[in-house]
Structure 1
């Protein structure tokens, strides 16, 4: 099970990876970072992406049932987690930003942020690999 540094090194092995970070979305602090940062400063990037993550994680509409009616539906698939959002994908003209929430046994407010070159990266592969890293990450 990788720690923060090992997780970030593995994220940077993805094709097109420009930079990566582990961020606490409650405080906006970077717990670790590697590679380049979109604005040149990992701490500023962590604070800005934490605002997006916090908004998505705390917004009540993202936790609504697929039917929208609030009916009690039979459980299908794995049990629901406290966070209704699994990841966020932000697309710019030149890059993708993938924010993948990390679920832990304790009340976690951590996400992985991968900055991926749009021409060289594979968004689907990056999303799957980042989810795997998030599941194995030891904090």
Structure 2
């Protein structure tokens, strides 16, 4: 089990990481974040990606899908953004958010590492 601070630090060690956050999708607030720059405001990203998660959950409900979101991938010209809802140990309503530099990141490895980090996170 790892804490939120350690999990954020682990997320930032993933190749190509630009910023990481743990977000409450009920409020849109980042409970913790690391990395940020003038080009990536993690507070704005947290609030905006909350709407993405809520929209997907509403769509799944409308379709009658009885499944869980593993992750949501947003591919930009120069970046990947991964949203991974936290599934266990009191993490319901939270998600991991990771922004990656597309030229430096290995998407498959990043998704694998994020899944491992999510599994160890203690909320």
TM-score using structure 1 length: 0.79
Deviation (angstroms), 1:125: 0.4
Partner residue, 2:110 = 126
- Computing the radius of gyration from Cα coordinates, the structure with the larger value is 1
Q: Does 1:31 align with 2:35?
A: no
Q: Indicate the RMSD between aligned Cα atoms, in angstroms.
A: 2.0
Query: Which whole-Å deviations, capped at 9, do the CAs of 1:15-35 have from their partners, x for residues lacking one?
Result: 100110000111101000000
Q: 1:91·1:97 contact (CA, 8 Å) conserved in 2? A: yes
Is there any run of 5+ residues in structure 2 with no aligned partner, and where? none
More helix, by proportion:
2
Work out which of the residue numbers 111, 115, 122 in structure 1 matches 2:95: 111
TM-score using structure 2 length: 0.89
Query: Which whole-Å deviations, capped at 9, do the CAs of 1:80-139 have from their partners, x for residues lacking one?
Result: xxx621110000000000001101244710000000000000100000110111111111
Partner of 2:27, secondary structure, is: coil
CA distance in structure 1 between the aligned counterparts of 2:50 and 2:115, rounded to whole angstroms = 18
Partner residue, 1:64 = 65
Partner of 1:89, secondary structure, is: strand
CA distance in structure 2 between the aligned counterparts of 1:38 and 1:99, rounded to whole angstroms = 21
Deviation (angstroms), 1:61: 5.5
Could you list the structure 1 runs, at least 4 aligned residues long, displaced by more than 3 angstroms after superposition: 37-40
Q: 1:62·1:84 contact (CA, 8 Å) conserved in 2? A: no
